[in-house]
Amino acid sequence: MENKENLQGQLKVSLQKIRQQITELEMIDSRSKRSQELFTALFISSPIGIFIVQDSMFVDVNPQFEKMIGFSKAELQGSNSLNLVVPENRDQVKENAIKMLKGYPTPPYEYRVIQKGGNIKWIMETVTSIQYLGRPATLGNFMDITERKLTEEALRESQEHYWDLFENANDMIYIHNLKGRFTSINKNAEQISGYTREEALQLSFLDVVAPEDAETAGTQIVRDIFKGRTPTYELDIITKSHHRVPLELRPRLLYKNGKPYAVQGIARDITERKLMENQLRATNQRLLDIIEFLPDATFVIDQNQKVIAWNRATEEMTGLNKNDIIGQGEYTYAIPFYGYPRPMLLDLITASDEDIHEHYKEVRREGESLYTEVFAPGVYDGEGAYIWVKASPLFDTNGNRVGAIESIRDISQRKHFEEQLRYLSLHDGLTGLYNRNYFEEEIRRLESGRFSPAGMLMCDVDGLKLVNDTLGHDAGDRLLISVARVIEQCFRADDVVARVGGDEFSIIMLHSSEAVVEIACQRVRDAVDNYNNNNPDIPLSLSIGFAVRNDPCLSMNEVFQAADNNMYREKLHRRQSARSAIVKTLMKALQARDFLTEEHAVRIQKLVVTLGEHVGLPTHRLTDLRLLAEFHDIGKVGIPDNILFKPASLSQEEVFEMQRHPEIGHRIALSAPDLVPIADWILKHHEWWNGKGYPLGLAGDEIPMECRLLAIADAYDAMTSDRPYRKAMKKEEAICELNRFAGIQFDPYLVNLFIEIIDKEES
């Protein structure tokens, strides 16, 4: 505020001087050269921005004005003076100009202007009416007060923040003068003390302090804060309702112009903490009575490091009876845990971190308690165990340390789980081999270490997707496990064998030449052949590629890429043969698991070919039709036996599962060159004439002729044959069903033709 008043005074004095000089110059002969020089010198050299406005237009400005605004005199002359004013302040400027022109006094006022670059500046302006060149004009001068405005705003925000913190703090905050009389308290102080702010201002600090703490409040605190100390005190106050409240208090001096003028204190209600401390002391006093029944192994020593408690759980863990250890000291209580006398954790509660780490690698401190986890080899008759340990001091009712307590818990099982988790983080959960994370870490280790020749093999399981799609992912997982075992047995213990992808395995062979790696590849191929000879269920096929790092300039990632490229080239050559082998195995598996398949296929081949001949199919299509009759249900190899052979009706979920077999069969057929011509028919052989079939919902002539023929022959044979869930129908019943579903499931024309053929054959 003082700064603002000074600026206003300067502006007023400056304006008066300029106005006086202009008036004097106007009175002097305008043709006088000396008059012009004086006016120009005054106008140009003034450190304050000066402008002259006539009819709201600039007619002249001094250099300081140009500097403040950023516009030149030439740019300003003839322009409206209000254009420089921020729109929100223009009414204010107009109002002051009107007052000035009417003769009213116009004290300095503040508003914002727009500089040439678009920046906003705060200015303080004073204006007055003058005669300029014989006409009325306005003389104005102003000063840049932007910095002052910013400082005032920052001060205002700071004061608001301070007041917000003061008023809404969770702790009591108070201020009293050097005589102890309160000058301010916050809301929390009102709530705790019970006094309103107005009531508190009539009291001194000593009026509310408990009598027994008056000496501390009146002497010790004063002495400490004037010596520059800011310790924390605990004392009680007496509230308005005569209740006693314990406080934790931290006072400090407040200074103004370098001199102390008041004391500010922050106090916290520690009623709850005091209650807890009292309860803790009482608990420690009763500890020896209840410690016997604690589930954790627990023992206690006194201030002389003699054992005074040794509970049942400790006896069970150490095998040492309490009668043999009570009263013993000199670290003898450590022998049953570690096999020799040494400090236990409770002996180190007051020790430095350096001393603690001489005996325990990792110790965590929380307050006055210590925590650690360590292996104790002596417990459980020498079997040892990982133990969790907590050590805490014990106090009497006066707060004096009288001993320490140590609690011990067997965490061997948790440690075992942690080891399992660590194992899983480095190993593939399915095969037990190293995983990709470990593999990549090993590559980084080889890159950063000393160079040595190393080989890398890449193995890719051929046909895994086909196995997953047809037999399910459980079968695919079993195949991957078999691959892992086959590969694993072909390498040395120090070789890194890892599963690096869904169907990819990679091996790093350390200190291995190209010849050694090539021999290893052949071992893998021989092991695969041996596996297939002894496991005919699903043939195992691997595409293998390798590369060797013989040059230190070659990175392991480049070796990995080379091995992968070599493996991929081999995979391109093996892909079709591997799929064909799997398909043949699937065909055999279907025949082995479904005793109806072969007889059913023979019967419907005869029926469907006869029907095909009557509709005029050419010979090559009849050949494919026979193939369809034999393999249309190959997709059932991927359906579980409990659904395929269920004697009762299928549930809705089981029906959906069964309806997957055309899609499974389609994928199998596409993988076998011999079945590719009928793959599309296998997919569509359960479509219905009315579009209600599956999986595509085709209707009418959209369904291939071969599928329509097969649907009738297959349904007729199914109805006239025994099934696990029902007996065979009579011919007349089956024909009745065909007629009933003609135009719904079956092509009505083909149904009539089929019935004619059946009737002729039997007559």
Give the pLDDT confidence of 365-383 residue by residue, as tens digits: 999 999 999 999 999 999 9
Q: Do domains 2-151 and 284-415 have the same CATH topology?
A: yes
pLDDT tens track for 290-320: 788 889 999 999 999 999 999 999 999 999 9
pLDDT exceeds cutoff 80 at 254: yes
Distance from C-alpha of 408 to C-alpha of 346, rounded to nearest angstrom? 11
> Domain 169-269, what architecture?
2-Layer Sandwich (3.30)
- Contact by Cβ (8 Å): 313, 423: no
Average the pLDDT over each of 201-205, 465-469, 692-696, 751-755 and give the range with the smallest value.
Answer: 465-469
What is the average pLDDT score of the chain? 85
CB 492 within 8 A of CB 538: no
Q: What is the pLDDT of residue 161?
A: 74
pLDDT at 595: 43
Out of 428-432, 582-586, 651-655, pick the least confident: 582-586
Residue-wise pLDDT for 622-664, tens only, equals: 888 988 888 888 888 778 878 877 778 888 888 888 888 899 8
| CATH of 430-576 given 3.40.50.11540, 3.30.70.270, 3.10.450.50, 3.30.2230.10 | 3.30.70.270
502, pLDDT greater than 50: yes
Instruction: Please list the alpha-helical segments (H only) found in 185-329.
Output: 187-193, 197-200, 205-208, 214-215, 221-226, 271-290, 312-318
Helix (H), strand (E) at residue 404: strand 401-410
Q: Which DSSP letter does residue 651 get?
A: P
| pLDDT score of 188 more than 50 | yes
pLDDT over 90 (residue 760): no
172 SS3 class = strand
> Per-residue confidence at 527, pLDDT binned at 50, 70, 90?
very high
Every domain of the chain and the residues it spans:
2-151, 169-269, 284-415, 430-576, 594-762
Q: Residue 596 — pLDDT band, cuts 50, 70, 90? A: very low
* Gap between the Cα atoms of 544 and 363, Å rounded: 51
Tokens for 221, please give them.
């605190």
| CATH 3.40.640.10 for domain 2-151 | no
Which CATH class for the 594-762 domain? Answer: mainly alpha
Cβ-contact 254, 266 below 8 angstroms: no
Q: How confident is the model at residue 688 (pLDDT cuts 50, 70, 90)?
A: very high
CA angle at 702 for the pair 700 and 705, rounded to the nearest 5°: 85
Fold of 284-415: Beta-Lactamase (3.30.450)
Q: What is the mean pLDDT of residues 696-718?
A: 93
Q: Which residues pair with 546 in a beta bridge?
A: 457
> Are 446 and 552 within 8 A, CB to CB?
no
Are 403 and 302 in contact by the 8 Å Cβ rule? The answer is yes
DSSP string, 604-636: HHHHHHHHHHHTT--HHHHHHHHHHHHHTTGGG
Name the pTM for this structure.
0.43
Compare 149 and 536 and report the one with higher pLDDT: 149
Give me the percent of the chain exceeding a pLDDT of 70: 88
- Cβ-in-10-Å burial (0-12, 13-18, 19+) of 450 comes to exposed
